[in-house]
Amino acid sequence: MDDRANISLADLDREALFHPVSSIHDLQTKGPVIYTGAQGVEVTREGGQTLIDMGAGLWCVNVGYGRPELVAAGAQAMQDLSFQHFFGGASAEPTIRLADRLLGLFNETVPGADMARVFFGCSGSDANDTALKLVIYYNNLRGLPAKKKVISRKGAYHGLTYAAASLTGIEGYHTAFDLPMPGVLHTSCPHHYAFAQDGETEAAFTDRLIVELEEMIAREGADTVAAFIAEPVMGTGGVFLPPAGYFDRVQQVLDRHDILLIADEVITGFGRTGAWFGSETYGIRPDIVSLAKGLTSAYFPMSASIVSRRIWEVLEGASAKMGALMHGFTYSGHPVGAAIAMANLDLMEAEDMPANAARLGPVLLEALRSKVGDHPLVGDIRGVGLMAAVEFVADRATRARLPVGAHKLVAAHAMNQGVLTRALPFLPVTSMSPPLSITEGQIDEATTRYARALEAATPEMLAL
């Protein structure tokens, strides 16, 4: 073993593992970027460089890194009851209290919400798999075995397990894996800036999307369509805010055809949009809500699927004659995760983080507009709460696309300047979604570094 200790970590990484959503070729040739620590909004790289993490990990470290309250809650929970499964009726206090708290929080903050029960998992992807299986289960119980298709949207990101990757509407995640699976359809991406035609207003764009949705349902037959899944704000696809009136109109269509609405709040949950949930920000009344990431601020892998009363009543009503609900995971309801989630919610409430996101969102947008808004390759700067995007174009007037990869150069230069941003895979977009604990001063510093990075990357972007 001793000789292994002398191998650099980068070489050991190359020899020992392979990474999610990473180029095997690049990693084998260039090696990984290794991080050694993190505190507050900053992460530290091997060698000692610190960077402001404008991504909050993958949109998930909502309360910031290294919070002692969460560490203490996790340690205590491990000491008390390091594991309890929930199969066959077993249960444990932290999880019971968390479920009750989540229902209260969602129903109190989202107008019209009537959520009834929570089911726990481990990741955003499995929360969406659970949602999909519950939709199928629900319609089987209702005696509607043909009503099973799910409509998602192009540009959507719902995770990467087999079912969740099928719901994801980005081709790059599909082709090499023979996805999407049958029964998943994708309607148009509601991103006005890139996809509006001939000067269409947002309202006219929404009208067109609604007609398309109606046509898709008519073509498939409403008796075959079970659910529609949507992120309140599309994240990984490019930070797309819904156009004017969009969710209201979508809900009317779904209601008319007895189609359930699944809100994937894996990113938008827990303060990101400047409210506790994106459903509040956009007036969404979901039947199922998928939560993960900010639930524990990524201190523990945990997800939750919340179901509405109308679904619960069918499940409960049929339960006497059904066998057990044959779905769940070893770690469903993990008491350590639940205790950490409770401490995380305590901290978010004590520091009123949704309000912090609401207050600082406009500060972040204004900083980006004043520092990079006039750049000839910057087409659009947008955001809601602490979820922002800079979209690059080859030509601001025509909004012509830049070659893929141009925006990745900015992210690389940003790292050199000491700021982590994300270059998204679907469109040339930099996303920023810092911890909700970030300060105005840190936003100023991060955006100044980002502006310097864009300046440095410009000649290479133009040469592509």
Give the closest residue to 248 by CA, choosing from 207, 218, 289, 187: 207
Q: Which of 235, 238, 328, 354 binds ligand PMP (CB under 6 A)?
A: 235
Residues near ligand PMP (CB under 6 A), total:
15
Q: What angle do the packed helices 309-319 and 124-141 form, to 10 degrees?
A: 60
Strand partners, 388: 383, 432
CB of 20 to ligand PMP, least distance (A): 8
Q: Closest CB to ligand PMP among 61 and 393?
A: 61
Q: Closest CB to ligand PMP among 308 and 431?
A: 431
Q: Closest CB to ligand PMP among 243 and 269?
A: 269
Using CB atoms, what's the residue nearest to ligand PMP? Answer: 124
CB of 190 to ligand PMP, least distance (A): 15
Does 292 participate in binding ligand PMP (rule CB under 6 A)?
A: yes
CB of 68 to ligand PMP, least distance (A): 25
- Considering only residues 122 to 161 of the shown chain, the ones binding ligand PMP according to CB under 6 A are 123-125, 128, 157-159
Q: Closest CB to ligand PMP among 128 and 296?
A: 128
- Considering only residues 56 to 75 of the shown chain, the ones binding ligand PMP according to CB under 6 A are 58
Does 55 participate in binding ligand PMP (rule CB under 6 A)?
A: no
Does 232 participate in binding ligand PMP (rule CB under 6 A)?
A: no
Give the closest residue to 113 by CA, choosing from 251, 243, 266, 242: 251
Q: Which of these ranges, 169-177, 229-237, 326-334, 390-398, lies near ligand PMP under the rule CB under 6 A?
A: 229-237
Q: What does the alpha-carbon distance between residue 272 and residue 17 come to, in Å, rounded to a whole number?
A: 32
Q: What does the alpha-carbon distance between residue 58 and residue 159 come to, in Å, rounded to a whole number?
A: 12
Q: Closest CB to ligand PMP among 155 and 361?
A: 155
Q: Closest CB to ligand PMP among 123 and 152?
A: 123
Does 186 participate in binding ligand PMP (rule CB under 6 A)?
A: no
CB of 294 to ligand PMP, least distance (A): 11
Question: How far are the Cα atoms of 64, 65, 184, 370 from residue 338, in angstroms, in the given order?
Answer: 18, 18, 32, 42
CB of 169 to ligand PMP, least distance (A): 11
CB of 124 to ligand PMP, least distance (A): 2
Give the closest residue to 330 by CA, choosing from 99, 80, 125, 86: 86
Q: Closest CB to ligand PMP among 170 and 377?
A: 170
CB of 386 to ligand PMP, least distance (A): 15
CB of 161 to ligand PMP, least distance (A): 7
Q: Closest CB to ligand PMP among 296 and 417?
A: 296
Q: What angle do the packed helices 353-372 and 335-350 form, to 10 degrees?
A: 70
- Considering only residues 316 to 375 of the shown chain, the ones binding ligand PMP according to CB under 6 A are none
CB of 372 to ligand PMP, least distance (A): 25
Does 231 participate in binding ligand PMP (rule CB under 6 A)?
A: yes
- Considering only residues 241 to 280 of the shown chain, the ones binding ligand PMP according to CB under 6 A are 264, 266-267
Residues that bind ligand PMP (CB under 6 A): 58, 123-125, 128, 157-159, 231, 235-236, 264, 266-267, 292
